[in-house]
A = this chain, B = another copy of it.
Amino acid sequence: MNLLEMSETAKKELLDAELKRKAEYVAKGLKLDMSRGKPSKEQLDLSDGLFMTLDPANGYVGKQDYRNYGITDGIPEIKSLFASLAGVDEDEIIVAYNASLNLMYDSVQRAMQFGVSGCKPWNEQGKIKWICPVPGYDRHFAVTELFGIEMINVDMLPDGPDMDKVEELIKDPAVKGMWNVPKYSNPTGVVYSDEVVERLAKMRPAAPDFRLMWDNAYMVHALYGQEKQANIMELAKKYGNEDMIYGFGSTSKITYAGAGVAFMYSSKKNIAELKKLMNIQSIGPDKMSQLAHFRFLKSVDGIYALMEKHAAILRPKFESVVDILEEELGGSGIAKWTRPTGGYFISVDLYPGTAKRTVELAREMGVVFTGAGATYPYKKDPADSNLRIAPSLPPIDELVEATHIFAVAAKIAYLEKA
């Protein structure tokens, strides 16, 4: 039933019914957390034995004894593996850190301090601006906000960011970069179409030091089998544009969250320059963690096989959430949601002006959702509409309960207002 078209009486009756359901949930005294995209224990257990590969009996010697100093950019074995995964050459990749956020932050900080492409440091270029497809990833926005970079919202469409808008914005030389999660975007689950990837790859921004931040966090995180996507670096090379690309990825949601191996890829020229700076910042990455990951994952096929096991755990969770949303809110007119084929989130657009109140009501029923606005720069969702559901962590029974609660909250929030 469409709530938007309901009579006042029907609305009143429904509100009473939903408030009764709410009171029942409150009485249960639940404490559920749906706020972050964390893997579940069952998923983490899939990597049992990761560090057992470092049994002294196996030795630690590859190009050198990996227990000792040396190597700025990652052990050759893991560089080769991730280069294959990202579809780049081995001199176009650096493997470092335990998660990719650090590589992204450092890339922005280096550009602020030292500049890129021979241009002046961004610190010395006055107001810097940045393109942010919305809704997007809160930690991306926190980085650009910290550096005082002005963030400009661009709508995420079903096939990627609104490219007409993007192509207009890059005419401003103060626009220096753009955040992207090109596959199973956080939180919409959008997979950029090959056409969008190509339009991005061939852009000619007015700023010669523009950087396309390509956070491939979910590149292999498919729910229904691996899906192909045009390779940004290949296309950028076709247009002589590969210096513009900063690609990122990690095993945070392949092996252990925050105890994985991260990588960054770009043009040979950029990687060579980055290595010079990283060699002053760091004596090199944790090669033991890299060796363990290489021995455990073995190959791109090894990664795909592991991701299929993750998918088997995640699929029923995603499907439960979507089923309940359909059951509770289908045809209601007050909510639209995504049916992602990968990634870690389900994004829901609620009736404008009700997202904050929905989170508040859900909290009263004992369920924590990511705060309204978190998916927007400056935590400001202009429509107060988007919320993000993270189905991975809770067991299915909790997830089912939490999603019902979400729906009750969304309905009450609308009916209170209407």
Q: Contact residues of A with B, CB < 8 Å?
A: 36, 38-39, 41, 44-45, 47-52, 54-56, 60, 65-70, 98-99, 101-102, 105-106, 109, 112-113, 123, 139, 142-143, 146-147, 252, 256-259, 277, 280-289, 292
> Which chain B residue lies CB-closest to A71?
B258
**Contact status B287-A289, CB under 8 Å:** no
Between A106, A256, A258, A284, the greatest number of chain B beta carbons within 10 A of the residue's beta carbon is seen for: A258
**Contact status B139-A283, CB under 8 Å:** yes
Closest chain-B Cβ to A76's Cβ sits at a distance in Å of 16
A106→B282 CA distance, assembly (Å)? 10
Q: A113-B113, A280-B142 are in contact. Are A68 and B289 (CB under 8 A)?
A: no
Taking the full assembly, how many copies of this chain does it contain?
2
A84→B70 CA distance, assembly (Å)? 30
**Contact status B98-A285, CB under 8 Å:** yes
A277→B143 CA distance, assembly (Å)? 10
Q: A51-B54, A65-B44, A139-B283 are in contact. Are A259 and B101 (CB under 8 A)?
A: no
**Contact status B51-A65, CB under 8 Å:** no
**Contact status A258-B286, CB under 8 Å:** yes
Cβ contacts under 8 Å, A289 to chain B = 98, 259, 286, 288-289
Closest chain-B Cβ to A346's Cβ sits at a distance in Å of 19
Of the candidates B69, B98, B106, B282, which one forms a contact with A257 in the assembled complex, judged by CB atoms under 8 Å apart? B69
**Contact status A99-B256, CB under 8 Å:** no
The contact sample of 30 A-B pairs, CB cut-off 8 A, is A38-B69, A39-B68, A44-B60, A44-B67, A45-B56, A47-B67, A52-B54, A52-B55, A68-B256, A68-B258, A69-B252, A69-B257, A69-B258, A70-B258, A98-B285, A98-B286, A98-B289, A99-B284, A101-B282, A101-B283, A102-B281, A102-B282, A105-B282, A109-B113, A113-B147, A143-B280, A146-B277, A257-B283, A259-B286, A288-B289
Cβ contacts under 8 Å, A147 to chain B = 113
Of the candidates B56, B106, B258, B288, which one forms a contact with A284 in the assembled complex, judged by CB atoms under 8 Å apart? B258
**Contact status B66-A259, CB under 8 Å:** yes
**Contact status B67-A259, CB under 8 Å:** yes
> Which chain B residue lies CB-closest to A36?
B69
Cβ contacts under 8 Å, A51 to chain B = 51-52, 54, 288, 292
Cβ contacts under 8 Å, A54 to chain B = 50-52
A286→B256 CA distance, assembly (Å)? 9
Name the 5 nearest CB pairs between A and B, nearest first. Answer: A259-B288, A98-B286, A51-B54, A48-B56, A67-B256
Cβ contacts under 8 Å, A69 to chain B = 36, 38, 252, 257-258
> Which chain B residue lies CB-closest to A66?
B259
Closest chain-B Cβ to A270's Cβ sits at a distance in Å of 18
Closest chain-B Cβ to A263's Cβ sits at a distance in Å of 15
A277→B70 CA distance, assembly (Å)? 29
> Which chain B residue lies CB-closest to A49?
B56
Q: A52-B52, A69-B38, A258-B68 are in contact. Are A286 and B286 (CB under 8 A)?
A: yes
Question: What 11 new A-B contacts, CB under 8 Å, besides A68-B257, A101-B282, A258-B287?
Answer: A49-B56, A98-B286, A98-B289, A101-B283, A102-B282, A105-B280, A113-B113, A123-B123, A139-B283, A259-B287, A286-B289
A36→B70 CA distance, assembly (Å)? 10
Cβ contacts under 8 Å, A105 to chain B = 280-282
Q: A146-B280, A280-B105 are in contact. Are A41 and B65 (CB under 8 A)?
A: yes
A105→B113 CA distance, assembly (Å)? 13
